[in-house]
Structure 1
Amino acid sequence: MGKFIYFTEAQKERAANVDLESFLCQRGEKLLPSGRDKRLARDYSVTVRGCEWFDHASRQGGRAVSFVQRFYDLSYPEAVSLLLDGQQGQAYPAVTHQEEPPRKPFVLPEANPNMRRVFAYLVKQRHIDRQVVAHFAKAKTLIEDSKYHNCVFVGTDEQAVPRHAHKRSTNSYGKAFRQNVEGSDPRYSFHHLGSDRELYVFEAPIDMLSFITMYPEDWTAHSYVACCGTSGLPVLHLLSQIPQVREVFLCLDSDEAGQVACQRMAEQITEQSGLVSQRLCPQLKDWNDDLRAWAETHARSMEMGGLR
Structure 2
Amino acid sequence: MHFGGSTYCTREHDSLKISNGKWCWFSRGIGGYSALDYLIKVKEMPFTQAVETIMGNLSAVPPTFAPAPKAPKEKVLLLPQVNRSATHAIEYLHRRGIDYELIDFCIRTGRLYESYPYHNVVFVGVDADGKPRYANQRGIGSDFI
TM range (shorter): 0.3 to 0.5
TM-score by length of 1: 0.22
Relative to total residues, which structure has the larger helix share, 1 or 2? 1
**Whose Rg is larger?**
2
TM-score by length of 2: 0.45
